[in-house]
Amino acid sequence: MSLPYAILGLLTYQPMTGYDLKQYFDHSINYFWSAHQSQIYRELAALEGKGFLDSRVEPQEGRPDRKVYSITAAGETELQKWLKQFPQSLTTPVRDELLVRIFFASRLPLSELKFQLQRYLREKQEQMAAFGAVDGLISEQPEIPGHPDESFYWRLTLKYGIAHAKAAIEWAKECIRDIEKKEGLQETRDHERSRE
């Protein structure tokens, strides 16, 4: 499970609240590992219970107190250990609901499948645009003390996201073209049957 290690990694940059971590997730790691606010808070409690994090409460005037987490030496050691222990297989299993639906799409009108693929295509194109914005943010990011080359590694993950999105866009376009050909063949057959 990568979520606790993603949290530990983010806390090597600076101490953060659960809310801060969620914001950081949403603008970076979320592109390849998503997490809900409740999951982050649950993991923070577990990591603190294991001694990998410390927390302090910061009072705020007129607002609820902030609980700020920081990584401990034990947390740094645990993160390093995890980083060095790669799994036997680096290929993650695919679990894609869209592909399951397409697999059984013979039960749908072609027009519905085409519509859903067009939606998917738009979403992937929007994701590509977001990746462009992320690249700009990486360029503007000031150097993180103690982590001078961090943007290099962020860009490696960004390149993966871009390559994946490009492939998905091409795949969706090809599927839409195939559906349009099939629609054309069906129209021709229907027209020929109506003339009989």
Beta bridge partners of 16: 69
Q: What is the pLDDT of residue 56?
A: 96
Q: What is the pLDDT of residue 181?
A: 93
Q: Do residues 74 and 150 make contact, with C-beta atoms less than 8 angstroms apart?
A: no
Residue length of the chain: 196
SS3 of residue 32 by DSSP: coil
pTM for this prediction: 0.77
Reading the chain (196 residues) residue by residue, the pLDDT tens digits are 689 999 999 999 999 999 999 998 888 888 788 889 999 999 999 999 999 999 999 998 999 999 999 999 999 999 999 999 988 888 877 788 999 999 999 999 999 999 999 999 999 999 999 888 888 888 777 677 777 788 888 889 999 999 999 999 999 999 999 999 998 877 666 666 666 6
